[in-house]
Chain A
Amino acid sequence: MARVVVDVMLKPEILDPQGQAVATALPKLGFDGIAAVRQGKRFELELDGDVTEERLAQIRNAAETLLSNPVIEDYTVRVEP
């Protein structure tokens, strides 16, 4: 069984209040030296059978249609070894 990972991140120009909240909390807990935090989503898709170019194209389509909103988010698709 193959695993494909889709990472979804807010586009750089879109404000990320959740990431900012994490960035504010870190130094309070003594985790210093972190300049900024962006928070995103990771989807792990377990496939029946092997990864083919055709199925990857399907997954990219799914990433663009449902998993991300291209108006505010970017996504990357990669096959887990």
Chain B
Amino acid sequence: MLAGVVQILIVLILMTGLAALVGGYLARVFTLPGHWALERLTYRLLGIDPVEKMSWQRYASALVLTNLLMMLLGYLLLRLQGWLPLNPGHLPPQSPDLAFNTAASFVTNTNWQSYAGETSLSNFSQMAVITFLMFVSAATGLAAGGAFIRALSRAGFAAIGNFWVDLTRVTYRVLLPLSFVLAVVYVQQGVPQTLSAGVLATTLEGAPQQIVLGPVASLESIKHIGTNGGGFFNTNAAHPYENPTPLTNALHILAMLLIPSALTYTFGSMLVRRRQGWLFFGTFLVLFVGFLALVYTAEQRGNPLLSKVGADQSLTAGQSGGNLEGKELRFGIAQTSLFITTTTAATTGSVNAMHDSLTPLGGLVPLAQMMLNVVFGGEGVGFINLVQYVILAVFIIGLMVGRTPEFLGKKLEAKEVSLTTLALLAHPASILGFTALALVWPGALSSLGNPGAHGFSEVLYAYTSGTANNGSAFAGLNANTPFYNTTLGLAMLFGRFLTLLPMLAVAGSLAAKRSLPQTAGSFSTETGLFGGVLVLVILIVGGLTFFPALALGPIVEHLQMLAGKTF
């Protein structure tokens, strides 16, 4: 256990250091007036004026229109796959509902996959559809996050930035260089990067083994830096080619946390409120460590039903033990638990173990984190989600002490609170609404991969993952049916845009307000007291909303497991 805790501590310490380093860099990317030559060339090609200041409405229109075109391009390329190059296996095009689901999934940074990568996408599609959409969805989220922070830093000026400049800069200055360097490190560790589709090996016992290869490393790096999560292979980062060593596993984790954690520092830096930035970081970290401890202990303790039939799950000198169903030996329980917590905190959705086979409490952690959708969170949008809860916390405190709620020196009024509430409610409405629909839709339950309470968890997990734009799955569920492809596609679009757009409106509205002077009566949001209230608000609001659903799924399954009941 000590070796496990040490590995976790190393990663968390590195993450904290990188957050400050990268956070400072991001702040410069979002604020420096100068343009690179390559960027100026890009702006000329686009025919835009980089100094144009956009209102939140115009920024949002540009964002939605661009995403729509990108999604359309991805959809078309998937539908035309059969006629496009780099397809030696002659893989057919995806069906209309599957291609809609895939395009919606990758443009919203969700990366839910109703298909298995190695059997349904050509190397061309893996690059020109999947890798491309991974970059632009991450760039979109990060641009929006930057504009959001910029808006919070303004007073009396409604413009929030220029979408074209933000999108270009985060791609050129952040995502492309980082992804390239990380991809090369991945290759060194053993991740393939080739245009060949694979080789036919003859095993030592003489059987044929078809080994699928492809441009994996270039996808893998943006997949994690961009908190995307979609795997090249069906089993994602559990596949030894996507995640060959414990080092790549640790790098995946650091890459996922890199930008979401750095944005708290960027915020502190751009608003010159460093204490506030670190307080947000600390809030994220407290929740993160709590969830990590739960999944780690649950998985290390293992499944008592397996011990009963003779499997030794104890931690000894010769084995790491724990519940190893669906897990890879090289990572052990510590690195697997850290990965599970990270991928659902940073809403990446890649998996290095099959979440469907986690113990009930182990499986509760990813579900709960995606339901809260605020522990670090996805590229850019995680920070925006946090501010939702901050506004709510400030509002609740304001009600309790009977003062007008203030945040960052701005009065929060009916407009901001209503928009925030709309964004906060869209999330559970989509999750619980679609889950309920699937439970009564004729034939939808025949997709379940597991019986009993676990089957319910599979459906709940799918819509939670889709709405939270996470993309991981309880993969026993066969989601490649027109019903699931369509409803999950919609859940992903609702989850992305019904949160992002209202919150950009809040940002625009706050940017236009004048700052109020700090008085003795102002409640500071930079104190530990506020941090504590914030954590409680997150847990209570999330808990009240989702506890009934969790009780029907993982919690009842945990009790059944302890009672020795199987299905």
Q: Do A and B come from one complex?
A: no
Residue positions of B touching A, CB distance < 8 A: none
A interface residue numbers (CB < 8 A to B): none
